[in-house]
Structure formats: structure tokens, C-alpha cells
Amino acid sequence: MSERLPLNIFIDSSTLYNSVKIPQDSFSLLGANLNRWLVDLLKSLGVLNQPVIHGNVDPRAVVSGQVFIEKGAKVGPFAVIQGPCFIGKNSDIRHCAYLRGDVYIGESCVVGHTTEVKSSCFFDHAKASHFAYIGNSILGQSSNLGAGTKLANLKLNSSDVSYRHPISDSVVSSGLKKFGSILGDFCQTGCNSVLSPGSLLLPKTSVMPCLHYRGTLKKGIAR
């Protein structure tokens, strides 16, 4: 990577409820860097090989590995949660959700019915309530994915994902073969929208329903 991608372009970390120290660069929360950060976080909470559960987990759910579930969080029936994974206070992991590891869920988030999350971060109040796929992505505070939204993370030719830097406007290689999207605080996607790998949405921007979007959206609505 030739340019840093500061996380504060997308997320105001000063307003997060959790006292967890959040990295300053977006790529510290993607790929192998996310795994290292999560494992260190979980170890600091006393989570080694077995789940530590303070929330309410339905007995039909499957929770395995390094998983920490805070008080007030709920996990619904037939959900599958694989570590490393952190789930914050009052978050709702609903029926048949699938968290595939390397997942950080902040406070009061929703991972909905048959939604799959892999190697991704949800910051406080982020919601993917219905039939979504979130791969190698970051969702800012109070962002919302409409039903059926897909954040694709792999190009058809499996080459490294590039993105357009929101400050310099230059096209930059991420150095990652798997990199989905970064959505800033208060972003929204309409139902059945698809974001191609390397898409960036700055705070308070939106993508209309049934739209394929690729690029960097600095303001307004992609139609």
C-alpha cells in the first residue's frame, strides 16, 4: 500500500461506547491485521480457547473457539458463531446468522436472519438485519444494510483489490486479495444492492436499492 487510509475518514471513534482501543488505520481492521487485533483483545478479556458468555445464547445456537459475548447481547436459535469473535453489549445475533470468525461486533448492533459475516467489523448500532453478506468489510456507527445487501470481497480473477483514495483521489492497491467495503457512520444501502470489492462510502452517504456500486462515494446518494 502506498497510502494510509485513516479510519477517522469514516468513523468518529470518540463517540464509541466501548473502551476498546480502536486502531487508527482502516487496514489494521482488515485481513490478518484484524485477526491479530481481535486475538489480542480477546486475550485481554481472558478468552483463550473456549467461549466466555455473559449474554443470552439460545441453546440451539453453536458458539465455538475464542468468542466473548458481553452482557445484554442475544444470540438466537441456530446461529453459528466461530472465533475469534467479540460481540458487544445489547447486540442481537438473530436466527440462523453465521459469523465465520475474525468478527468484531460493537454495542447494540444487529446481525440478522441468514446474514453471513466474515472478517469484518460492525461499529456501534450498525445493522445488517436480513439476508446480507458482509465479507472483509467495516461498517460505521448507525450504518444500515437493506435486506439482501452484498458486500463482495473477492474479484473474479482473484487479483489484489484496488480502491480510489477519498483524499488523494488516486487509485491504490490494497495489497489484499480479499477486501470488501468500508461504510462510514450513518451510511445506508437499499435492498438487494451489491458493492464491489474496494468500495468506500463516506459518512452519511447512501446506495439506492437494486444497484451495483463500485468506487468511492464522497457525498449524496448513488442512484
Residue owning grid cell 483489490: 161
CB proximity list for 63: less than 8 A, separation 6 or greater: 51, 53, 57, 69, 75, 81
Please give the chain's pLDDT, 223 residues, in tens.
447 899 999 999 888 876 678 999 999 999 999 999 999 999 999 999 999 999 999 999 999 999 999 999 999 999 999 999 999 999 999 999 999 999 999 999 999 999 999 999 999 999 999 999 999 999 999 999 999 999 999 999 999 999 999 999 999 999 999 999 999 999 999 999 999 999 999 999 999 999 999 999 999 999 9
The answer to whether the beta carbons of residues 109 and 20 sit under 8 Å apart is no
3-state secondary structure 118-149: ECEEECCCCEEEECCEEECCEECCCCEECCCC
d(CA 181, CA 178) in angstroms, rounded, equals 10
The answer to whether the beta carbons of residues 97 and 115 sit under 8 Å apart is yes
Distance of CA 36 to the CA centre of its chain: 16
Q: Which residues on adjacent β-strands are paired with residue 171? A: 164
The answer to whether the beta carbons of residues 156 and 139 sit under 8 Å apart is no
Domains of the chain: 7-222 (2.160.10.10)
Q: What is the pLDDT of residues 54-79, one digit of tens each?
A: 999 999 999 999 999 999 999 999 99
DSSP, collapsed to helix, strand or coil, labels residue 37 as helix
* pTM, entire model: 0.96
Beta strand 221-222 with 206-207 is: parallel
Q: What is the pLDDT of residues 19-54, one digit of tens each?
A: 678 999 999 999 999 999 999 999 999 999 999 999
Determine the residue type at 187: C
Phi and psi, residue 42, nearest 5°: -65, -40
